[in-house]
């Protein structure tokens, strides 16, 4: 609920606004001040930290022009609105994913978030991830310049695909943001003064954990294969041993039968010789 709108600090007009679940788009010019708890603008949480208040130049002194009302100070926000990063709206990004473009010359990056509004004032920025600060957190000018050589910054309107306010797809070129390098992406708003969450994009290179997992998986698969191979070799050896044992037994039986036949023939020969002498 909006409590007060001040004009010139003299006239005070109290306005009661019921929750509408719509964006209010309040224009606030010079010499005006809006005081309210931020909950009045959250629309039951749907608008989060976006106020939809547009600061305008109405009432600002313009040289060489006749004006009825001129004020020195731009629109002021107070109360719970004082520390809001941007009075109009604040875009957020929650998730990013990337895949190689169809032309193989870059990446198609899908950004999922909230309040991704098509209004010509929000830019996206993709850079190769590199450290640009010293141990004290201060930016190193040379490092910043080096990173900027491999950054791509565009208005969100120049995205590859943008169908709603929750996700859009952008495209990078390897000529600028080099292939296989780890990247970061964020949004720039509030006339370049504020940025959204910064999310990492990893493409092509595996993390140490992933490499270890792959190696362990390969070792397990190799172990299973080796075990199966050993079992198969043992089985084949046993089967071959059985065949050899059977052959050996058959040969022994044949030898025994041959001996028995020979003994029978010898006995018959002895009987025949004895019969002749008698």
Same domain for 102 and 145, yes or no, is yes
Domains in the chain, number: 3
Pick from 127, 172, 162, 167: which is nearest to 147 by CA?
Answer: 127
Who contacts 106 (Cβ-Cβ below 8 Å, separation ≥6)? 100, 171, 172, 173, 174, 175, 177
Supply the pLDDT for residue 229. 85
What is the pTM for the complete model shown? 0.61
Q: 64-107: per-residue pLDDT in tens?
A: 777 777 888 888 999 888 888 888 889 999 999 988 888 888 89
**Residue whose token pair is 């959204």:** 196
Q: 149-187: per-residue pLDDT in tens?
A: 999 999 988 899 988 889 999 998 888 888 777 889 999
As a whole number, mean pLDDT of residues 104-115 equals 91
Same domain for 39 and 70, yes or no, is yes
Phi, psi of 273 (to 5 degrees): -65, -40
Q: How far apart are CA 145 and CA 130, in angstroms?
A: 11
Same domain for 130 and 169, yes or no, is yes
Supply the pLDDT for residue 6. 47
264 found inside a domain:
no
CA 132 to chain centre: 23
Supply the pLDDT for residue 185. 93
Same domain for 114 and 178, yes or no, is yes
Percent residues over pLDDT 70 in the chain: 79
Same domain for 32 and 108, yes or no, is no
265 found inside a domain:
no
266 found inside a domain:
no
Domain boundary among 201, 226, 258: 201
Same domain for 103 and 50, yes or no, is no
258 found inside a domain:
no
108 found inside a domain:
yes
Q: Which domain covers residue 233, as residue numbers? A: 208-249
Tokens of 39: 């909950």
Q: 1-37: per-residue pLDDT in tens?
A: 344 444 444 554 544 444 444 566 788 889 888 898 8
Supply the pLDDT for residue 17. 43
Same domain for 108 and 185, yes or no, is yes
DSSP count for the chain of H helices, then E strands? 2, 14
Contact 183, 203 (CB under 8 A): yes
Tokens of 228: 């199966």
Residue 57 pLDDT grade (very low, low, confident, very high; cuts 50, 70, 90): confident
């Amino acid at each position: 609920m909006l409590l007060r709108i001040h004009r010139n600090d003299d006239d005070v007009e109290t306005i009661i606004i019921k929750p509408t679940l719509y964006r209010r788009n309040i224009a606030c010019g010079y010499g005006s001040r809006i005081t309210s708890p931020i909950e009045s603008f959250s629309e039951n949480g749907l608008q989060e930290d976006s106020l939809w208040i547009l600061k305008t130049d109405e009432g600002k002194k313009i040289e060489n022009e006749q004006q009825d009302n001129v004020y020195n100070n731009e629109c002021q926000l107070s109360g719970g609105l004082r520390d809001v990063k941007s009075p109009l709206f604040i875009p957020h990004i929650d998730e990013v994913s990337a895949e190689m473009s169809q032309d193989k010359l870059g990446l198609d990056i899908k950004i999922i978030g909230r309040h991704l509004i098509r209004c010509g004032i929000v830019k996206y920025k993709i850079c190769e991830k590199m450290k640009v600060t010293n141990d004290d957190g201060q930016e190193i000018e040379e490092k910043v310049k080096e990173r900027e050589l491999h950054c791509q910054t565009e208005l969100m309107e120049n995205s590859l695909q943008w169908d709603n306010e929750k996700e859009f797809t952008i495209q990078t070129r390897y000529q600028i943001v080099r292939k296989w390098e780890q990247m970061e992406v964020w949004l720039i708003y509030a006339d370049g003064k504020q940025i959204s969450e910064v999310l990492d994009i990893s493409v092509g290179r595996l993390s140490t954990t992933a490499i270890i997992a792959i190696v362990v998986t390969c070792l397990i698969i190799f172990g299973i294969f080796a075990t199966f191979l050993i079992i198969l070799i043992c089985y084949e050896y046993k089967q071959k041993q059985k065949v050899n044992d059977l052959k050996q037994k058959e040969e022994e039986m044949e030898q025994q039968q041959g001996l028995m036949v020979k003994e029978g023939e010898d006995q018959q020969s002895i009987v025949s010789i004895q019969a002749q002498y008698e």
